Amino acid sequence: MATLDVNTIIARSLKAQGIEYVFGIIGIPVIELSMAMQAAGLKYIGMRNEQAACYAAQAVGYLTGKPGVCLCVSGPGLLHVTGGMANAQMNCWPLVVIAGATSEDHEGIGGFQEYLQVEASRPYCKYAVRPPNASLIPLHIEKAVRYATYGRPGVSYLDFPANLLQASAPESKINFELTHPPPPLTYPDPECVREAFKLLTHAQRPLIIIGKGAAYAHSENILRHMIENTNLPFLATPMGKGVVSDKAKQCVASARTAALQKADVILLLGARLNWILHFGRAPRFSADVKIIQVDLCPEELHNSVRSAVAVQADINPFVEHLFEQLNAVNFNFSDNSDWWKLLKEQCYKNKTTIRSMAMTTSPPLNYYTVFHHVQEIIPDDAIIVSEGANTMDIGRSMLLNTLPRHRLDAGTFGTMGVGPGFAIAAALVCRDRYPGKRVICVEGDSAFGFSGMELETMVRYKLPITILIVNNSGIYGGFEKDTFDAIRSDGDLTQVTPPSALTVETRYERMMEMFGMKGYFAREIPQLQDALKEALTLKDRPVIINVAINPSADRKPQAFNWLTESKL
């Protein structure tokens, strides 16, 4: 009777579920498993850090709708991955993590890298299990993929002890046909749609907020159609950008503070009222605002404030039904309304302020100058990966997205170090599905330090990623060289070196020389733009452009702190 080894069973089961990409770092006991995955036709990408591997796998899940797999070794390997698992779970991105484990007969007596892995993973997962035998592996892999993608997407964890990985089973007992249909759609209660229709059509100051849930749901076509035909103003959360183009005339991102604070009815689509949206509470929102909350997850409804209308539904069927009712009465929110006049006035005022900051082109540069001149060069359809403090936040407003799922950043969990992993995932997806599309990875110098050695991964797999490091020599801010040297001229360096400081103008671009390649350093706009133009011609390798800016450069004055402060 023919038998199959467990490594082959795992690999073929993943392939049967439509899994395409695996990211990981191999070691005992998953070396043979990684090779079996390649033999089964899975694309294996060897990374340099388990967290970065996990970030890449979850970004694939977001970009394609099918989970990426993160493969890691036991004990510390899995512990490194848990940061990425938590990030995926908080972002609601589909991910499957597979880890080797110590042999079961070594458990309890100090086995190599022994750890309670299933129990340790449960806080970060929707599903965590150790398959009990070889014949049940396809069932648990199907379940892991289904849990990761159905409902609110998230993380599944599969644990494989070394003795199970070395086992085999009769091929006749292995069912590779266990596959699930696409996730079912949840349709809205018609009465909820009618209530939403009434609120919107009677609103004096309506606003639509588009979240990354709308991007993941591929809601761009119906949302663009509805907004264009109703002329309702909209804002996007950071990764909701591009579902409706940032260049659409209904986009009021430049008047974000006024829009949130003065709207009387808000339609919330695929976004949570968490810290990113200031919890939906005053003073960032009107105290009597009426919120129409549409979310796939019922537990999210009324989670921060009581919504006027709470709808458990997929976004597409809800918006389709709502637009049918709006269209039936020829609803169109007038450009001549007081609300549109206020929003346009605020947009003009803020854009004028930012443009004046962006035109300060003499060194040392500021964030606005850098991003304004980068925006002039990069393609409209580029995927923008961004992380850092001011780098990410200011870049969100300056670097525009015209297409959905074309911005990846630190997300709901605010995780630093995600950039290179996200960029690797985006470049692989582009190479396989959208040849010629560019990936621009915009990094603060501190953020780049978390996962910078993934540059070697990019080189190894010939990924054309442009890494733009906005270098202010610190966390939030650094110091000019003379000041930095003076601070550290005397005393114990651990006592006198400011916690926010990094080495002044570190020449990160010289990392390219490790591979016999060229990086770029810029202090002036012509240097930056020339480097960017050249970088965008590269087809089979990454490049670093290191831009030195004023260490004390900051964002424009804000009406409110970007992070809502506790009032307790």
Q: Which residues contact 271 (CB under 8 A, 6 or more apart)?
A: 209, 210, 211, 212, 213, 214, 237, 240, 277
> Confidence class of residue 568 from pLDDT cuts 50, 70 and 90?
low
Q: What is the pLDDT, as a whole number, of residue 556? A: 74
> Confidence class of residue 221 from pLDDT cuts 50, 70 and 90?
very high
Q: What is the pLDDT, as a whole number, of residue 177? A: 86
Q: What is the pLDDT, as a whole number, of residue 567? A: 63
Q: How far apart are CA 531 and CA 149, in angstroms?
A: 40
Three-state DSSP class for 549? strand
Q: What is the pLDDT, as a whole number, of residue 562? A: 66
Burial 506-529 (b: 16+ CB within 10 A, else e): bebbebbeeeeebbbbbeebebbe
Q: Nearest 5 degrees, angle CA 520-CA 522-CA 527?
A: 90
Q: How far apart are CA 186 and CA 114, in angstroms?
A: 42
H or E segment at 21? strand 21-24
- As given in the structure block, the two tokens for residue 13 are 């089961």
CB 237 within 8 A of CB 210: yes
Please state which CATH class domain 360-548 belongs to. alpha beta
Is the confidence at residue 555, as pLDDT, over 80?
no
Average of per-residue pLDDT across 469-474: 97
Whether 3-173 shares its CATH topology with 190-341 is answered yes
Q: Which amino acid is residue 268, in one-letter code?
A: L
> Confidence class of residue 180 from pLDDT cuts 50, 70 and 90?
confident
- The 10 Å Cβ neighbour count of residue 376 is 10
Q: What is the pLDDT, as a whole number, of residue 181? A: 86
Is the confidence at residue 448, as pLDDT, over 80?
yes
CATH H-level, domain 3-173: superfamily: Thiamin diphosphate (ThDP)-binding fold, Pyr/PP domains (3.40.50.970)
pLDDT, tens digit (0-9, with 9 covering 90-100), for 512-523: 999 999 999 999
Burial 111-135 (b: 16+ CB within 10 A, else e): bebbbebbebbeebbbbbbbbeebb
Average of per-residue pLDDT across 342-346: 98
Q: What is the pLDDT, as a whole number, of residue 308? A: 97
CB 145 within 8 A of CB 180: yes
Q: Nearest 5 degrees, angle CA 236-CA 254-CA 390?
A: 80
Average of per-residue pLDDT across 38-62: 98
CB 374 within 8 A of CB 468: yes
Domain boundaries, the chain: 3-173, 190-341, 360-548
> Confidence class of residue 490 from pLDDT cuts 50, 70 and 90?
confident
List Cα–Cα distances, 428 to 45, 433, 463, in angstroms.
10, 8, 7
To the question of domain 190-341 being in CATH 3.40.50.1220, the answer is yes
Contacts 24+ apart (CB under 8 A), 75-78: 75/102, 75/112, 75/113, 75/114, 75/115, 75/117, 76/113, 77/25, 77/27, 77/50, 77/113, 78/50, 78/115, 78/117, 78/120, 78/121
pLDDT, tens digit (0-9, with 9 covering 90-100), for 110-153: 999 999 999 999 999 999 999 999 999 999 999 999 999 999 99
- As given in the structure block, the two tokens for residue 418 are 């995600």
> Confidence class of residue 500 from pLDDT cuts 50, 70 and 90?
very high
CA dihedral 224, 230, 234, 240 (to 10 degrees): -20
Closest CA to 118 of 155, 162, 77, 159: 159
Is the confidence at residue 86, as pLDDT, over 90?
yes
